[in-house]
Structure formats: C-alpha cells, structure tokens
Amino acid sequence: MTFYIARRMLYAIPIAFGVSLVCFSLVYLAPGDPLQTVMPPDATAETIAIVKHAYGFDKPIPIQYLMWLGHVLTGDLGMSISTRRPVIREVIDALSNTALLATFAVPLAFSLGYTMGAIAGCLPGRWLDRLVTGTAVIGVSLPNYWLGIVLVVVFAVELAALPATGMGPTGSANFHILDWSCAKYLVLPVMTLAMIPIGILSRTTRAAVAEVRNQDFVLTLRAKGLSEWAVIRHVLKNSLPQVMAVMGLQFGYLLGGSILVETVFTWPGSGFLLSKAIINRDVPVLQGTILSLSLIFVATNLIVDLLQSMVDPRIRRT
C-alpha cells in the first residue's frame, strides 16, 4: 500500500509540472507583447527595455519559466493588472467563495446522483430506472448557464422568492451560512451547479451496479442463501471504484463549470474572477486562477485514485 501511494504521488509530480508549463505558456498565447497591456502607449523604447529587464522578459524563455516557477513555488503569482493586488490574495478570496458553493453542491449532487443510480441499477426496467436514464441524458445535454437563467426567471422574476444574483448585502466577508438572509443567495447557484453531476453520476452508478449484478459472484451469493439486502451491499461495494472515478472527474467539472454558473449569478468565486480577468485582459490573474484550479483538480484525482485503491485492492497491482 505504501509503495502504491508513493508511486502514485511521484506520478503526480510530472503532471503538475506539465500543468505549470501550460499555464506559463498562456502568456505567450496572448497576441502581442506580454508587457503591452501594462505599459502606457507613449512609453519610449528605453523605458520598455528597462521594464523588460526588471520583469526578466529579456531572458530566454526557459530561464523565464524557471524564474516564474520559483515565484509560484514560494506562493508569488504576480500582481493583478486591474486591481494591483497580489494575484494569490485574489485567488484565495475567490476560491473560498467557490468552496462555499462546492460544500453544498458536491454532497447534494453526489448523494442524490448515487442513490438514484443505485436504486435504478437494482431495479432495472422500472419507472425509476427510466427516470434516471432520462435525467442523465438531460444532465449531459443541459447548458448549466442556461439552467441558471431559467431558474432565475422562475424563482427570482416570476415567483420573486429568491434573490437572482450576488452574495447579499454583507458580501463574502460577513457571509453566515446559518442566517437565511445570506443563505438564500446560495440556493439557486447550488441547484444549478448540482444538476449536471446528478445526471452524469446517476447514469454511471446505474451502469456500474447493473454490470456488477450480472457477474457470477452475485449468483454465488444468492445460491449461498444471502438475503437480497446483503447481496445489494456486496454489489454496491464492488461498483464503488467505478463510481468514485466519475465523482472525481465531476468534482473537476464542478470547478471548471463554476466559471459559467458564477458568471450567471455574479457569485464572487474563482469562476467569476476568471471571467473578470478575461474581460479586463488581466493575464496574471487568468494564469494564477487556472493554475490553482487545475492543481486542485490534480490533487483531487490523486486522492480519488488512493481512495479507489483502498476500496478495491486489485487496482494496486496494475
């Protein structure tokens, strides 16, 4: 087990380096000089040269990458062009707001999706099974930003029951979960974020459970005289690794998909920060946010792999 953990963690390191390389090159994908946005248009060639030297832009690109990586490893992601604040502060503030959404959306989506899928897989062909199959197709085809707009139209415009956008008058600093005047701002974004993972997860769970139920050992369990509940317990446990893999992926899509949902609800999270950075052409913030989100995704995948290997020791041997 220790060997497997060590090997899997070692494997994550080159991936993280690759991610940092892609994020670094984002600056060079941007058209024009990376300094163009910072410099005043009437700057002399001399000033530009000085600034270039100060930022290290006159060095060869591999050296620039190593310098940048050194800064990143010490937690320095540069300065935001639009707000002049350190990017790391902006990212941490935004991530804590996204985490707030995720703490509600992830358990909701995973518990609902898993339960629906498991019941449908155990009772194939019933009405619930059809419902799950239908929900799954809708879930994968639904543009979540549109779902957000529809929910706003229904609950905020027509029924006037819930606030449409934002985090409420207190802002993110004094946001209290237990206070309904704050918590009501969470309802619509959380529902929107959870919808797609519910569909995908219920479909995967249904397929995994149905597949395990067809295996020979289930017949043996029945022949042994185990009760239906005990059989279901075995089936669920065996279908878990497959479901967990999809849960890990969905967690990542929640992170990535939050960019659209947070834009719809103007929720000041990492996705909203990203879309603001795009509008302002604030490349350091864009780079920093994407780097942080994808490193979280890499870490999630690592954790999911380790959890999978705990549930199913066979994975360790491959």
Q: Which of 100, 118, 120, 152 binds another protein (CB under 8 A)?
A: 152
In whole angstroms, how large is the CA radius of gyration of the chain? 24
Which residue, 94 or 231, has its beta carbon nearer to another protein?
94
| Distance separating alpha carbons of residues 142 and 151, to the nearest angstrom | 13
Under the binding rule (CB under 8 A), the answer on residue 157 touching another protein is yes
**Shortest distance in whole angstroms from residue 178 CB to another protein:** 30
The single-letter code of the amino acid at 158 is E
Please give the biggest Cα pair distance in the chain: 87
Q: Residue 79: phi, psi to the nearest 5?
A: -110, 140
Are residues 227 and 70 in contact, defined by beta-carbon separation less than 8 angstroms?
no
Q: Exposed e or buried b for every residue in 292-308, given b needs 16+ CB within 10 A?
A: bbbbbbbebbbebbbbb
**Shortest distance in whole angstroms from residue 272 CB to another protein:** 11
| Distance separating alpha carbons of residues 277 and 152, to the nearest angstrom | 25
Q: What are the distances in angstroms from CA 47 to CA 27, 82, 89, 234?
A: 21, 21, 29, 71
Residues in contact with another protein, counted by CB under 8 A, come to a total of 52
Q: Which stretch binds another protein (CB under 8 A): 51-59, 100-108, 230-238, 260-268?
A: 260-268
Which residue, 11 or 237, has its beta carbon nearer to another protein?
11
Under the binding rule (CB under 8 A), the answer on residue 57 touching another protein is no
**Shortest distance in whole angstroms from residue 260 CB to another protein:** 5
* Residues near another protein (CB under 8 A): 14-16, 18-19, 21-23, 26-27, 29-31, 137-138, 140-143, 145-147, 149-150, 152-153, 157-158, 164, 252-253, 255-257, 259-260, 263-264, 274-275, 277-279, 281, 283, 286, 290, 293-294, 297-298, 301
